[in-house]
Structure 1
Amino acid sequence: MSGGIGSIHPDTNLDGFALTDAPTFRTVLGIAWPLTLKAVMLHGIIVIDAYLISALGEAALAAMGLASAIAGLLLGILFAFSNATQIRIAQNFGAAGEVGLKTAFYCGLIVNLASVLIGVALVVAFGGRIIEGVAPTEQIADQAMAYLEVFVLVIFAEAVGQCLGSHFNGCGKTKVTFLSYLIALPINVVASVVLIHGLYGAPELGVAGAAWGSAVAALTRMAYLGLQFHRQHRMFRDVAGWTRDSLAAALHRHWVFSWPIAATFLSMTIGTQACILIYARMSVNEFAAITLILPWVQVAGTFGMSWAQATGIIVAQQLGARSGEDTLDAFLSLAWRAAFVAAGLVAAVYLAICLASPWIYAGLEAETLLAFWWFWPTLLLLPFPKGSNAICGQTLRAAGDTLAVMNIFMASQWLFKVPMTALFVLVLDLPVAWVFALFVADELVKFPMFHMRLWKGTWKHARVVED
């Protein structure tokens, strides 16, 4: 099969890298930087869409915000399942088994499509009622539903596109996924502008035009990834059979592996919304400050999280190739040292944001800027335990220990972060800097649980693929 992995030696990947040797810093960086840029572009699409819609006024922005809250939840669950598929593909890529790669891909695709069908059915059944119940006016509710009805196309395109992207990421081909976003981003912007405002003879669709622009971009990205997938593997048509001799049995195993990752995302989303509702009880200036800093925390911390994700991909490949303990230890030691360097860079970016806040947000009141400034001690500390925990979590997931990772996240969130946020805000009425410091405290709570489980070393002997 020309271009497929069947022509590659069992101990090497598509780039000829020997999976039985410890990967180098450049190997991890080669996987991490496209993941970072991809994540930045994903955030950029959201910012650009909001900017384009802002020309239509506050009502249009409110409508998009309502619809995006529902659509974002569906996409987030989809991304979580795709992350699980990415790990399963990396494991089978390390084992150099085409049957395993085929099984992991199609199981992931089935799970993605099933989750989307269930999600869309729930939106059809209850989405209108939810939006009508929270929308301040009937006009905003109508615009939100118009946006959401079109955005369903994006969700279905992403169900396929994310699975294709997971295949390339799991095989270490993160540049292919990055290029798909590089192609889709300008298409999204141009199509949205044209359809929002009705330029060049196109219909003027308003808020729904932004959804159509996203749909065109998502379908284009899916088509590009599908073409690359077909060129390399011919859709695995030449590969017979499934692992465990049954697609149903393989699908069950894939589901058992995947659902804790999706449940972790859902729990984190609900917990975040609970905290935001609590933050709303602070003063207007404090709430504005913490609302402004949260997107920066997410965007600037992308590189550290992408490094951990790249580490998890390589660990999964190494476990699939059944590398020895010395090889795994050497690689993880290298990845950890580099993760602390990445954390230092992220901390420097955070400090720069704090220092530049009077210029970035020149129109804000002095009290809001002062609250924003006092976030800097937390921001300087946060990337280090967060990065180390991420390395542990991705490594454990790569070894199939997804349930333990879920339990650690849920325990820290629901037994510590959410209750402590309520205590700090609703009972003690502490300044916003102390409330924000709970982000570091939450990572410190998870720190011993993650590291003790990793240091036990049982993950090094995990049998992640079929014999």
Structure 2
Amino acid sequence: MFRSSPMPVTEGPTARHVFALAWPMTLKAIMLHGTVVIDTYLVSSLGESAIAAMGLSTAVAGLVLGAILAFANAMQIRTAQAFGTNDRIFLKSVFASGMAVSLAIGLIGLTTIFLFGDALLDVMAPTVEIGSLAKDYLAIFSLVILGEAIGQVISSHFNGCGRTRLPLYSFLLAVPINIASSIVLIHGFLGLPAFGVAGAAMGSAIAVTAQVSYLILRFARVDGGLLRLSGWRQSDFAATLRRHLGFSLPIAATFFSATFAMQVSALIYARLSLNEFAAMTIIGPWIMVTGTVGMQWAQATGIIVAQLLGQKTEKDVLERFLASAWRGAFVASGAVAVLLCAVCLSADWLYSDLGAETRVILLGFLPVLLILPFPKGSNAICGNTLRASGDTVYVMHIFIWAQWLFRIPATAIAVLYLQLPAAWVLSIQLWEEFLKFPAFHRRLHRGDWKDSEVSE
């Protein structure tokens, strides 16, 4: 993507190029996570029980969506490597393998939810009413899972090729549809029944259908010729799929572990008081939505690093680029802190229908949220750079051990045994980032990533 740039080749890309990739990815990711925020906001007028029901059902559905997003993120990096080598057979192989994996995960996930979802919600729901509402929401939201299995693969292909605006356009189409249809279906406007919590899921399903339809049409027009090419990166598709899985599994395991840990944490949060659980359910999506500013900056950095390594770029160019991207990451983290501050300070206005105690708890999260983006953003730059170079197993170990040896046990102890306030429970996420910081930064500064042969 840099061959047409007017700058000298020896200069290389800078933070300006990261921004060009990152801002469409950021808006798209905000809209993706914003689906939950929108649903939560629209449902908040129905009270704490409705919010708790949606929190439980999205915790279950999030396990499957997390697996889909995990492999999509791995595919995005692999696509960037293939794009950097300018090998169209390589590019086709990545796309076909990624789609096969995503559809398999989606179908397995839907089958598992159908068989065991209701039983899990019965166990975790604090009341029968909340469990019933959660089941209604999850049954309809399953359609969103199937749509995302297709849409995330196409979006990752476009992102890896540097066409980050196309996935954004799909969400610009879907979000207004989601808002309008959810309002109508939740409250029963235009002569339709009031479906309540289930109406929010219906709106999301309608929106994802429009989004995926747009992505399929754009792929057919822009890159449909890839699928007509003969041959595979390896000897046949089975070998190509195995190679893709070999690259993707450590990255996918990292993202899936993070999502799974987040959902397990959400289920533990259900044992907090109703007001504290409602506050945690509200702030969680906001942390994800605002955090995409820093996370997508880091992912855009990883895409460019993967492309540069595919082009066998000189080490000094790689070093200058990463230094520039890192300075931009600090600014992005500051922006995230400001956004989270605005959410906490606006709680009385945003969630006026909720109880005063819930809004006070939200305000108490502020000290943690002002610090969290900075170590999190710096760790993300390290992780995405190392993944782009193929150092995926090391990154996987850092994330998995920090989550399962620290975050989950600490959360369980804080909630189930010590019964700490919600703000202290939330602070565990900050301490986890501090725990990962030395391991990430030592590995990156060692410099092995600059010698990676990603075309192998």
TM-score (norm 2): 0.86
Q: 2:234 aligns with which of 209, 228, 244?
A: 244
For residue 310 of structure 1, give the secondary structure of its aligned residue in structure 2. helix
In the superposition, relative to structure 1, how do residues 192 and 334 fare at CA in structure 2: closer, same or farther (>3 Å)?
Answer: same
Distance, in Å, in 2 between the alignment partners of 1:310 and 1:105 is: 19
Q: After superposition, what is the alpha-carbon deviation per residue over 1:74-100, rounded to whole angstroms, capped at 9, x for unaligned?
A: 112111111111111111111111111
- From 445, 451, 454, give the equivalent of 1:455: 445
- The alpha carbon displacement at 1:195 in A equals 4.8
Query: Within 1, Cα distance between the matches of 2:360 and 2:134?
Result: 36
Q: What's 2:3 paired with?
A: 12
In 1, Cα distance between the equivalents of 2:370 and 2:128? 45
Alignment of 1:170-185 (within 5 A): 170-185=160-175
Q: Deviations over 1:319-374 (max 9, x none)?
A: 11121211111111110011112122222333444555566567888877666555
Please state whether the residue corresponding to 2:12 is helix, strand or coil: coil
Q: Is the 8 A contact 1:286 1:371 kept in 2?
A: yes
1:229-308 equivalences under 5 Å are 229-276=219-266, 292-308=282-298
In structure 1, C-alpha distance between the alignment counterparts of 2:422 and 2:116, rounded to whole Å? 36
Q: In 1, Cα distance between the equivalents of 2:15 and 2:36?
A: 32
Residue of structure 1 aligned with 2:211, choices 212, 221, 241: 221
Q: Given the alignment, which residue of 187, 190, 211 partners 2:180?
A: 190
CA deviation after TM superposition for structure 1 residue 67, in Å: 3.5
| Candidates 66, 69, 72, aligned match of 2:62 | 72
Determine helix, strand or coil for the equivalent of 1:122: helix
Q: Which moved more, 1:440-449 or 1:201-210?
A: 201-210
Of 78-87 and 374-383, the range deviating more from structure 2: 374-383
Q: By how many angstroms is 1:441 displaced?
A: 2.1
Alignment-mate amino acid for residue 103 of structure 2: L
CA offset at residue 420 of structure 1? 3.8
User: The residue matched to 2:223 in structure 1 has which SS?
Assistant: helix
Deviation for aligned residue 1:158? 1.6
User: Aligned AA for 1:165?
Assistant: S
Shift of 1:36: 1.4
Q: Distance in 2 between matches of 1:62 and 1:425?
A: 17
Kindly provide the amino acid, as one letter, of the partner of residue 168 in structure 2: F
Contact 2:294 2:377 in 1 (8 A): yes
**Partner in structure 2 of residue 32 of structure 1:** 22
Instruction: Compare 355-364 and 380-389 and name the one that shifted more.
Output: 355-364
Change (3 A) 1:331 1:433: same
The residue correspondences of 1:38-437 to structure 2 (distance < 5 A) are: 38-53=28-43, 64-134=54-124, 144-195=134-185, 207-276=197-266, 292-357=282-347, 373=363, 375-422=365-412, 434-437=424-427
Distance in structure 2 (CA, Å) of the matches to 1:190 and 1:270: 31
Shift of 1:428: 6.3
Distance 1:16 1:115 in 2: 43
C-alpha distance 151-417 of structure 1, shift in aligned 2 (>3 A): closer
Residue 18 and residue 314 in structure 1: after superposition, are their counterparts in 2 closer, same or farther (change >3 A)? farther
Offset of residue 162 of structure 1 = 0.9
- Opposite residue 3 of structure 2, the aligned amino acid is T
Would the aligned equivalents of 2:29 and 2:292 in 1 still touch at CA under 8 Å?
yes
Contact conserved, 2:92 with 2:227, CA < 8 A, in 1? Answer: no
> Which blocks of at least 5 consecutive residues in structure 2 are unaligned?
none
Q: Give the CA RMSD over aligned residues.
A: 3.4
Are the structure 2 counterparts of residues 194 and 281 from structure 1 closer, same or farther at C-alpha, using a change threshold of 3 Å?
closer
- 329-338 or 264-273, which deviates more: 264-273
Mark the structure with the bigger radius of gyration: 1
Q: Is the CA contact (8 Å cut-off) linking 1:74 and 1:116 kept in structure 2?
A: yes
Report how far residue 292 of structure 1 moved: 4.8
Q: Say if 1:200 and 1:317 are closer, same or farther in 2 by CA, change over 3 A.
A: same
Q: CA deviation at 1:227?
A: 1.4
Give the equivalent residue in structure 2 for 1:3.
Answer: none
Following superposition, the deviation at residue 375 of structure 1 comes to 4.1
Do structure 1's residue 22 and structure 2's residue 23 form an aligned pair? no
* Deviation for aligned residue 1:260: 2.4
Q: Displacement, 1:300?
A: 2.4
Equivalent residue letter for 2:162? G
- Segment drifting more, 371-380 vs 390-399: 371-380
Give the letter for the 2:28 counterpart: K
Q: CA deviation at 1:50?
A: 3.8
Q: Any unmatched runs of 5+ in structure 1? A: 1-7
Distance 1:75 1:294, change over 3 A: closer
| 1:122 Cα deviation after fit | 1.4
Distance 1:387 1:130 in 2: 34
Instruction: Identify the range of structure 1 (355-364 vs 401-410) with the bigger mean alpha-carbon deviation.
Output: 355-364
Post-superposition shift, 1:66?
4.2
Match of 2:336, as an amino acid? V
Q: Are the structure 2 counterparts of residues 349 and 459 from structure 1 closer, same or farther at C-alpha, using a change threshold of 3 Å? A: same
Q: Structure 2: how far apart are the matches of 1:207 and 1:377?
A: 32
1:189-223 Cα deviation digits (max 9, x unpaired): 33444555666576776655443432332222112
Q: Indicate if the aligned counterparts of 1:107 and 1:251 stay in contact, CA closer than 8 A.
A: yes
CA distance in 1 between partners of 2:422 and 2:200 (Å): 35
1:10-69 superposed Cα distances (whole Å, 9 cap, x missing partner) = x737x8998875212221111111111112222332233344456677776565444333
**What is the CA deviation profile of residues 133-154 of structure 1, one whole-angstrom value per residue up to 9, with x for unaligned ones?**
5557777666654544443332
For residues 207 and 292 of structure 1, the distance between their equivalents in structure 2, rounded to whole angstroms, comes to 15
Check conservation: 1:399, 1:459, Cα contact below 8 A.
yes
